């Protein structure tokens, strides 16, 4: 009996990837499974020079761009440093898919020449390497999205966001790992294997932008492009202790220029967004500004005219709503505790905080409706692609990606009507009893800390904001402590999701110790500028950083 077609394709694809990592960048030996935190290995590998370690470990994307502009580093040496570190990261974490280091190094030389001849950079990201989630197109390379049938189908043109960032001086050098069909919050597929978490390889790196999270977590990149239809930027940011922003849909990029994300491939009513994951919040903000000013509306049919608004935020007490539960899954003690701590810290700084322990019932309905909208097409698009080469579904996808009848026109009408009703009701969350309204909402990214692979328990805390199309972002708060693990559980909700959370996930709580806890900050639709300001304010409070003048920052 002949082997399924996918087996040979996978072998050829993996061999192609291996051939693109220079022999001198190969690790002499790989750590065994007992080594869970591998962030130290790149600097100890002997592959990176002292200067390359400095370049990759000392700065964020904003400061690195400034140093390139001031000729303290050349574009070529910066790109070479990150290519090397990305190669090391791949060997440790399976975080890459397509590799084009040679092309990146050639572009870096051209950018050095430009700076030498003109004295001015192309744009704000001149010479800064930026990594790219696999589903976005880069000319000459696949966008397989974890599906074997999409291998060896190189893109004929770049995704529009790639072109905009290259116009701003960015250097693209690799694409990053994702789940099979991108329909998972853990990044594993049969082509590339599982992306691992550099902080703790026993925990998930998240998904679907998990390769981005892992690569940036080990500083093989300082900033990367992710996509988000249910949490796929915010979840990897949380898992890897990073910053990530999901903007409003259609302000930054539509579904054009992505091999797998095509009209009809995901649910009607769920907002596909493109945004950054980075080592700093100001790097995320700069990228959003550059893309907003990149005039995507001139080339993409659904992107709105939306130049970045330069706003000055004067010091004043802000008002935050802290959403403690979605009424579906009660957050586990570490998550509850960090929410309450954040509320207290904000109040101690003079901000007004309302803690909502018992939100309106429509919050619970958002979870169920987003799940229905995700499967509205019946799974045929993704199933057809997977079945084309005889590729089996990975464990997380198998029970979820099943062929079913697509929604009828009547059902579609009813779901859309319910969607509009909930969107309207949800606007009430922004209203406070004193009539002032809230500047931002704070809530969990997930009802649990970063779990083991394939154990993520629902995406309700993130997917609700895709359905509402409210911009939101994740910021790291602190790590899980022993006290967190000894705290009592909260009230039961009675749902199956909550039961899994209270049993399967809480029973393995020792594995959470030392893992990052994050906060999700939510803003109003198309008000990314205000959201980023609120994120800066909360980040300053929870982290104590004073890198930029947060209260009166201006970008």
Residues assigned a catalytic role: 133, 208, 232
Q: Would you say 229 is a known binding-site residue?
A: yes
Cβ 440 vs Cβ 534: under 8 Å? yes
What DSSP character marks residue 207?
S
The helix, strand and coil proportions of the chain, stated in percent and rounded to the nearest 5, come to 40, 10, 45
Q: Would you say 283 is a known binding-site residue?
A: no
Q: Would you say 208 is a known binding-site residue?
A: yes
Record the tokens describing residue 435, joined without a space.
């009539």
**CA 324, chain centre distance (Å):** 22
Range list of H helices, 400-527: 409-426, 460-468, 482-486, 496-500
Q: How far apart are CA 148 and CA 389, in angstroms?
A: 7
Q: Would you say 163 is a known binding-site residue?
A: no
Range list of H helices, 375-518: 380-387, 409-426, 460-468, 482-486, 496-500
Q: Would you say 182 is a known binding-site residue?
A: yes
Q: How far apart are CA 424 and CA 422, in angstroms?
A: 5
Q: How far apart are CA 116 and CA 107, in angstroms?
A: 14
Please name which of 532, 531, 521, 486 lies closest in space to residue 339, comparing C-alpha atoms.
521
Cβ 221 vs Cβ 215: under 8 Å? yes
Q: Would you say 209 is a known binding-site residue?
A: no
Please name which of 220, 226, 250, 253 lies closest in space to residue 238, comparing C-alpha atoms.
226
Torsion of Cα atoms, 450 then 453 then 455 then 461, to 10°: 40
Which residues line the annotated binding site? 182, 208, 229-232
Annotated binding site for substrate: 182, 208, 229-232
């Amino acid at each position: 009996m002949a082997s399924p077609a996918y087996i040979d394709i996978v072998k050829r694809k993996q061999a192609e990837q291996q051939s693109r990592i220079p022999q001198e960048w190969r690790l002499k030996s790989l750590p065994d499974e007992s080594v869970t935190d591998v962030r130290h290995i790149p600097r100890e590998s002997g592959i990176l020079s002292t200067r390359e370690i400095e370049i990759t470990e000392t700065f964020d994307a904003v400061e690195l761009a400034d140093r390139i502009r001031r000729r303290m580093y050349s574009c070529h040496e910066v790109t070479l440093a990150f290519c090397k570190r990305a190669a090391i990261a791949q060997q440790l974490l399976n975080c890459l898919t397509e590799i084009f280091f040679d092309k990146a190094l050639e572009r870096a030389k051209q950018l050095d020449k430009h700076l030498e001849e003109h004295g001015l950079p192309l744009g704000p990201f001149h010479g800064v390497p930026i990594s790219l989630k696999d589903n976005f197109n880069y000319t000459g390379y696949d966008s397989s999205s974890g599906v074997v049938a999409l291998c060896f189908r190189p893109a004929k043109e770049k995704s529009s966001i790639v072109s905009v960032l290259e116009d701003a001086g960015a250097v693209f050098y690799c694409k990053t790992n994702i789940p099979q069909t991108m329909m998972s919050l853990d990044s594993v597929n049969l082509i590339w294997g599982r992306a691992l978490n550099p902080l703790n390889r026993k925990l998930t790196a998240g998904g679907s932008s998990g390769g981005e999270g892992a690569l940036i977590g080990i500083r093989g990149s300082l900033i990367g492009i992710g996509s988000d239809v249910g949490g796929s930027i915010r979840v990897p940011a949380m898992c890897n202790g990073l910053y990530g922003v999901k903007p409003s849909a259609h302000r930054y990029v539509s579904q054009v220029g992505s091999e797998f994300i095509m009209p009809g491939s995901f649910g009607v009513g769920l907002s596909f967004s493109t945004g950054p994951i980075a080592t700093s919040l100001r790097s995320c903000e700069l990228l959003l500004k550059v893309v907003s000013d990149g005039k995507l509306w001139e080339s993409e049919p659904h992107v709105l005219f939306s130049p970045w608004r330069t706003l000055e935020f004067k010091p004043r007490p802000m008002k935050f709503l802290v959403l403690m539960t979605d009424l579906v899954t009660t957050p586990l003690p570490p998550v509850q505790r960090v929410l309450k701590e954040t509320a207290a810290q904000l109040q101690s700084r003079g901000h007004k905080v309302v803690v909502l322990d018992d939100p309106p019932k429509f919050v619970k309905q958002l979870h169920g409706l987003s799940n229905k909208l995700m499967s509205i097409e019946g799974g045929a698009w993704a199933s057809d692609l997977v079945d084309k080469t005889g590729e089996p579904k990975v464990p997380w996808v198998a029970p979820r990606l099943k062929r079913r009848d697509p929604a009828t026109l009547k059902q579609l009408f009813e779901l859309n009507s319910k969607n509009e009703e909930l969107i309207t009701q949800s606007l009430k969350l922004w209203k406070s009893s004193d009539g002032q309204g809230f500047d931002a909402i704070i809530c969990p990214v997930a009802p649990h800390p970063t779990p083991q692979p394939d154990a993520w328990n629902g995406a309700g805390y993130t997917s609700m904001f895709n359905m509402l199309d409210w911009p939101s972002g994740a910021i790291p708060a602190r790590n899980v402590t022993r006290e967190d693990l000894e705290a009592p559980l909260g009230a039961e909700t009675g749902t199956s999701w909550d039961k899994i959370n209270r049993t399967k996930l809480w029973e393995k709580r020792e594995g959470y110790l030392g893992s990052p806890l994050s906060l999700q900050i939510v803003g109003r639709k198309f008000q990314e500028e205000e959201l980023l300001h609120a994120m800066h304010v909360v980040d300053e409070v929870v982290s104590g950083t004073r890198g930029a003048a947060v209260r009166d920052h201006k970008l």
